[in-house]
Amino acid sequence: MANAALGVNEQTPRQIVAELDKYIVGQAEAKKSVAIALRNRWRSRQLTGPMQDEVIPKNILMIGSTGVGKTEIARRLAKLVKAPFVKVEATKFTEVGYVGRDVETIVRDLAEAAVRMVRQQRMDAVQEKAAALAEERILDVFVPQPKKTQNPLGRLFGGGDDEAETTEQEPKKYQAGRDWVKKRLTKGELEKELIEVEVEESSRPMIGMFSGSSLENMGDNIQDMLGNMMPKRHRKRKVTVAEARKIFTQQEAEKLIDMDAVSEEACQVAERCGIVFLDEIDKVAVHDGTGGADVSREGVQRDILPIVEGTTVMTKYGPVKTDHVLFIAAGAFHLAKPSDLIPELQGRFPIRVELQSLRKEDFEKILTEPQNALLKQYRALLETEGVELEFRPEAISRIAQLACDVNDQSEDIGARRLHTLLEKLLEDVSFDAPDMEEKHVVVDEAYVDTKLADIVVNRDLTQYIL
C-alpha cells in the first residue's frame, strides 16, 4: 500500500480518550472501549502475514438512555479518526419509501468516504507540482505563447529579412514578458487582477431524482455513465488571479493523480480501516408481541447481518469486503432490550458498554467544560449583539439541579434537558438583546429562579418535555 499511515490512528488509547474528553463529559467506559478498538486497528496493522487477516475487530454495542452522549461520541469520533467513517441510522431502512433500501449503501458510502480520503491525500502530495503548473497557466493568460510563424510559405521562400528577425525576436520578447509578469506575480501585485478562466460545468441534472429510493445507486451509475459519455461542458468565468490560482491548482492536481489507483487503494483502506456507526439500532429490535411493522424491522436486522458478519459488496470503485470493518452500534433500548435483537446479530457485537445516566455534576460540567459548551455558545451568540452574559457559579449549579429534578420527575431526556431549560432561561435576553441599554447581564441564582419560576414553583413540567 502506498501509505501505511492512511486510515490508522497513531494515538494511544489515552490520547484518544483525552480527545473525546474535550467534548463529552463522563461516559468513561464507552470512551475507553472505543479507544481500545481504534488502537487494535493500529496493532493489527503492525502484524504481518496471515495473522493480520485472522484478527477481526470486535464490534461494540453502546447502550444508554436518550441524551447521554451516544450520537455525540459518534460525531466526535468521526472527526478524530483518520479512517473512512460512516454514520447511519438503522431506522433509515424501515422508513416509508425506504423499505427495501439497500443496506449495501452503507458499504458504498464507506467506499465513497475512502475515495475522498485517498484522493485528498494524493492531491496534497502533488500540491507543489500542481501549484507550479498553475503559475505557468496564469502566465499563459497574461503572456500567451507566441504563435508559430504564420506563413510557412513566406519562410520557405525566404520572404525578406524582417520576417527572420521577428521569429528570432519573438521568443526573447516572450520570455522577457513572462519574467516580468512572473516577478510581479511573486510580489503579489497581480492578485486582484481579473482574468478569464475556463471551468468545467459540473452539471448533474438528474441528482435527486432517485435519491432516497433503492434506485439511488442505479441512478448514480447512470449518471456516471452519462457523465462520461457526454462531453464536459466548459464555461468561461472572470475571476481574480488569486482565485484562478486555486482553480488551476485544483485542476492540475486532478490531472496529476491516477483515479484508478485511487479507487484501488480506497477499497483496501475501506476494507482494512473502515468504521461504521449504526445508530438507533434498538429501533429495529422487535419487542415481542407486536405485529405489523416488526416484520420489516426484523427484516432490516437480517439485511444488516451479512454486512456485519462479513460479505463482499460491489461498489463502483471495486469490491469491498466487510470482514475487517469495525461496527459500533448504539441504542437507547428503552422498549426493546439488546436481547430482542436477532441472536445472530447480538453475537456480532461482543463488546457491550453502558452509558451512564447523567447527574447534577455531569450537567454542570456539560454546561461549562466542553470546547463547545452550551454556556459558551450562548455567550458567543449574544456577544454578537454586544451583550455580555455572565453566569455565576451558583446559577450554573441551580440550572444543573433543575435539569436533574425535571429529568427525575418526568422523562429522563439526559443533556437535552439543558437545551430546553437554557432556551427558556435566556428567552428574554435573546429577544431584547438588540435594544438593551445595559449590555452586561448577570445570571445569578435569583435570575434563574425568576425566569424558570414555573418549573421551580408548580413543577408542572409537562411543557418542558420534548
Ligand X SMILES: Nc1ncnc2c1ncn2[C@@H]1O[C@H](COP(=O)(O)OP(=O)(O)OP(=O)(O)O)[C@@H](O)[C@H]1O
Chain positions contacting ligand X, by CB under 6 A: 24-27, 64, 66-72, 332, 366, 370, 414-416
Which of ligand X, Mg ion, none lies near 66, with the C-beta cut-off 5 to 8 A by kind?
ligand X
Shortest gap between Cβ of 305 and ligand X (angstroms)? 22
Alpha-carbon distance of 196 to 334, in angstroms, equals: 60
Residue 64 vs 84, nearer CB to ligand X: 64
Tell me the window of 63-71, 165-173, 244-252, 435-443 that interacts with Mg ion (CB under 5 A): 63-71
Cβ-based neighbours of 20, under 8 Å, separated by 6 or more: 31, 34, 35, 73, 76, 77, 80
Which of Mg ion, ligand X, none lies near 269, with the C-beta cut-off 5 to 8 A by kind?
none
State the DSSP string of 335-346. SS-GGGS-HHHH
Is 91 a binding residue for Mg ion by CB under 5 A? The answer is no
CB 368 within 8 A of CB 98: no
Question: Where are any strands of DSSP class E within 301-408?
Answer: 312-315, 318-321, 326-331, 351-354, 388-391
CB 345 within 8 A of CB 305: yes
Residue 361 vs 454, nearer CB to ligand X: 361
Q: Which three cell numbers stand for residue 332?
A: 437507547
What is the C-alpha R_g of the chain? 30
232 burial (CB, 10 Å; 0-12 / 13-18 / 19+) is exposed
Residue 22 vs 233, nearer CB to ligand X: 22
Which of Mg ion, ligand X, none lies near 382, with the C-beta cut-off 5 to 8 A by kind?
none
Backbone angles phi, psi at 186, to 5 degrees: -60, -35
Alpha-carbon distance of 461 to 464, in angstroms, equals: 5
Q: Which three cell numbers stand for residue 149?
A: 510563424
Residue 107 vs 366, nearer CB to ligand X: 366
Alpha-carbon distance of 224 to 228, in angstroms, equals: 6
Residue 27 vs 249, nearer CB to ligand X: 27
Tell me the window of 8-16, 70-78, 312-320, 391-399 that interacts with Mg ion (CB under 5 A): 70-78
Q: Site for Mg ion (CB under 5 A): how many residues?
A: 2
Tell me the window of 64-72, 82-90, 192-200, 217-225 that interacts with Mg ion (CB under 5 A): 64-72
292 burial (CB, 10 Å; 0-12 / 13-18 / 19+) is exposed
Alpha-carbon distance of 462 to 451, in angstroms, equals: 17
Residue 277 vs 447, nearer CB to ligand X: 277
Tell me the window of 69-77, 104-112, 134-142, 358-366 that interacts with Mg ion (CB under 5 A): 69-77
Residue 117 vs 355, nearer CB to Mg ion: 355
Shortest gap between Cβ of 399 and ligand X (angstroms)? 14
Shortest gap between Cβ of 408 and ligand X (angstroms)? 17
CB 351 within 8 A of CB 57: no
Which of 15, 71, 356, 357 lies at the binding interface for Mg ion (CB under 5 A)? 71
Which of ligand X, Mg ion, none lies near 25, with the C-beta cut-off 5 to 8 A by kind?
ligand X
Shortest gap between Cβ of 71 and Mg ion (angstroms)? 3
Shortest gap between Cβ of 390 and ligand X (angstroms)? 22
Alpha-carbon distance of 65 to 281, in angstroms, equals: 13
Which of ligand X, Mg ion, none lies near 72, with the C-beta cut-off 5 to 8 A by kind?
ligand X
Residue 64 vs 274, nearer CB to Mg ion: 64
Residue 70 vs 108, nearer CB to Mg ion: 70
Residue with cell 467506499: 111
Shortest gap between Cβ of 286 and ligand X (angstroms)? 18
CB 283 within 8 A of CB 334: no
Which of 60, 54, 47 is CA-nearest to residue 8?
Answer: 47
Shortest gap between Cβ of 11 and ligand X (angstroms)? 20
Which of Mg ion, ligand X, none lies near 6, with the C-beta cut-off 5 to 8 A by kind?
none
Alpha-carbon distance of 101 to 212, in angstroms, equals: 8
Please give the span between the terminal C-alpha atoms of the chain, in angstroms, as a whole number: 50
Residue 284 vs 415, nearer CB to ligand X: 415
Shortest gap between Cβ of 332 and Mg ion (angstroms)? 8
Alpha-carbon distance of 135 to 185, in angstroms, equals: 9
Shortest gap between Cβ of 299 and Mg ion (angstroms)? 23
Q: Which residues bind Mg ion (CB under 5 A)?
A: 70-71
